[in-house]
Structure 1
Amino acid sequence: MAIPEDDLTRMAQIGAQTTSKDTYATVKLALEADGTGYSGKSYKIFLQGSYGNDTNIIKESDVDVVIRLDAIFTYDLSGLPLDQQHAFRSSHGVATYTHHHFRKDVLGALTARFGAHVHAGTKAVMIEPFYSRRKADVLVATQHRKYTWYVSDREGEHGYMLGISFHKSDGTRIINYPRQHRENLVTKNQQTSEWFKHIIRIFKNARQHMIELGHIKAGTAPSYYLEGLLYNVPTHCFGVSYVDSMVNSINWLLAADRSKFLCANEQYKLLDGNGDVTWNSQDCTTFMQGIVVLWNGW
């Protein structure tokens, strides 16, 4: 039996907004405190993840916050000819205030506000929930520039793709592109008359049911990758009804060559690339098998 339209309508609804908004405001205020080691430097605070992308469901409680230092940046010159690489390196020295200093100062600012509720994780800094405050993960990052051309630092004489760079606790550097991810989801949602993000939320709620029923393990299908998976589905698969959108999307995904899929940021392959920014194809297959079982056995 297919999942009825009424159940899909319920599963498509967005999760709590007010408490997430208040949590973000509280964390942002702590990060913007006077007297931090970075308070006089250029930085930006913004949301990423399900709440930031308007794809959160009721059972998702985390608020994902990024603080990005813009006073320094990492870079990728691999797409430039050698003369442009040389011109860039001739214009840039070594930063004295590093990502390590920034992370230490951010930890200090968060601990000053939230005390023992702050815990440094492998990637992000976790702030425990407290009363109405939701759990928050703060990613400490620096600006990353993937250069497409370079003559000088003067305006109009260079071009780059803007991303973020951060380090895991073992020192591994990770590059990602949350702005492109978010903007591409918005565009896809507009192209599908807003069906796209509704179907993402249904997939996420389906994942929760699958975990509870033991069809998949927790962690098999992170929200970021489900968004990327559905980003690859053609726009014509969305619309008319939730049942039609789900049947069309699932059938298309089962028939497609998923090895060619891109992440929603369009900078990485979705499957089997760098393990820190791409999804394991076996986990993707396990999720797809599980959602078919869930759909047929509802």
Structure 2
Amino acid sequence: MKLTKQQLEIYSKPGSLTNSKNMYKTLKNFFNNNLEAKTDIYLQGSYANHTNIRGDSDVDIILEFTSIFSHNINEFSPEEQNDFHNRYTNAKHDINYYKNQVRRLLNESNYTFIEKDKCFKITEGTAINADIVVCSSYKKFTEYPKCIEGILIPSNPKTISFPKLYKEKLSSKNTETNKNYKSMVRIFKNIFNYINTNSTEKYANLSSHIIESVLYNVPNDYFKDSNLLERFTSILDYLNSYENYSEMLTPDEQETVIGDNILIKIELQKFLEEIYGYM
């Protein structure tokens, strides 16, 4: 495989959304018709953010139970904590109660699923696999009572993320880069899949999410060259010369992409260097 301008143009195209849209509509209706609790149902991941490529299989569907929420109020002063507890009362049920409801619905349905730590993976009964993520709302207070809205997944350990903020930030990045950010993400994701399939070097610790997040940290000006090959090369050069991978932030800007994970850092550097061999 040679990374010519023509190949990059092919790699920049999004994968089909037909099956994912139909499946999402079907499952959203299924849960809306059968869940009694107030639930916000929406997509997250590559299909939600339009960075999906051909071959992307799983669709992530969030079931956010909004009648309950978790928080970080214990990080604030006693006065602020007291005010918080005066404003809010304890919920009648916790998230595991609602997770049991979802499990029961799926058991009674025609869907075949596997229960995993962070989701119910539907493997049969839909055109493509679906990861059903059950979660509660989460309020990350930054300066009480101001907060950032996210979700809490009852995994082990618990997972906190900010999918709506993530999607919003990706959309802004794409707008600020003349709509070239998301297409560049698809290019790098396709290259990653090709190399991981055909190269002797395997990148077990890298993921599409990490690649998407790393590219989010590239300054906007690098995405604005009108020539696709030159744009791709300048971004690749920038990343290969970058020294502080550990400081890169995820698109929601709430945590680092790599942090102190040496294995991911080493694999990322090797992957970026190996791309030159296809140019």
TM-score by length of 1: 0.86
Q: Which residue of 2 aligns with 1:139?
A: 133
Check whether the contact 1:118–1:128 (CA below 8 A) recurs between aligned residues: yes
1:154 matched to which residue of 2? none
* Amino acid in the other structure paired with 1:6: Q
One-letter code aligned to 2:137? Q
| Counterpart position of 1:61 | 57
Note if contact 1:261-1:271 (Cα within 8 Å) is conserved in structure 2.
yes
Per the alignment, residue 163 of structure 2 pairs with: 178
CA distance in 1, matches of 2:187, 2:269: 14
Q: Is the 8 A contact 1:57 1:201 kept in 2?
A: yes
The amino acid of 1:67's aligned partner reads L
Q: Name the structure 2 match of 1:118.
A: 113
Aligned residues of 1:31 and 1:110 also touching (Cα < 8 A):
no
The yes-or-no answer on 1:262 pairing with 2:249 is: yes
In structure 2, runs of 5+ residues without a counterpart are: none
Q: Secondary structure at the match of 1:207?
A: helix
Q: Is structure 2 residue 39 aligned with structure 1 residue 43?
A: yes
Per the TM alignment, residue 242 of structure 1 is displaced from its structure 2 partner at its CA by 2.3
Q: Is the 8 A contact 1:215 1:290 kept in 2?
A: no
Could you say which residue in structure 2 is the equivalent of 1:99? 95
Change (3 A) 1:228 1:133: same
Q: 1:91 deviation in Å?
A: 3.6
**Alignment partner, residue 263 of structure 2:** 282
Give the alignment partner of residue 73 of structure 1, picking from 69, 72, 83. 69
> CA 1:294–1:124 in 2, change beyond 3 Å: closer, same or farther?
same
Count the aligned residue pairs.
Answer: 277
Matched, 1:293 2:274: yes
5+ long unaligned stretches in structure 1: 151-157, 274-279
Q: Counterparts of 1:198 and 1:143 in 2: how far apart (Å)?
A: 31
The answer (yes or no) to whether the contact 1:33–1:109 under 8 Å persists in 2 is no
Q: Deviations over 1:90-149 (max 9, x none)?
A: 44343221111111111222333334x11111211100144x611100110000001234
Following the alignment from structure 1 to structure 2, what is the Cα–Cα distance between the partners of residues 102 and 218?
Answer: 37
| CA distance 1:122–1:16, change in 2 (3 Å) | same
CA distance in 2, matches of 1:81, 1:258: 34
What is the CA distance between 1:245 and its match in structure 2? 2.0
| 2:69–2:139 contact (8 Å) kept in structure 1 | yes
Give the deviation of 1:249 after TM superposition: 1.3
Root mean square deviation of aligned Cα: 2.0
In the alignment, residue 136 of structure 1 is paired with which amino acid? A
Matching of residue 249 in structure 1 with residue 244 in structure 2: no
Distance 1:128 1:271 in 2: 30
Correspondence for 2:191: 206
Residue 228 of structure 1, aligned match among 206, 213, 219: 213
Counterpart residue type for residue 227 of structure 1: E
> 2:87 & 2:221 partners in 1: Cα distance?
48
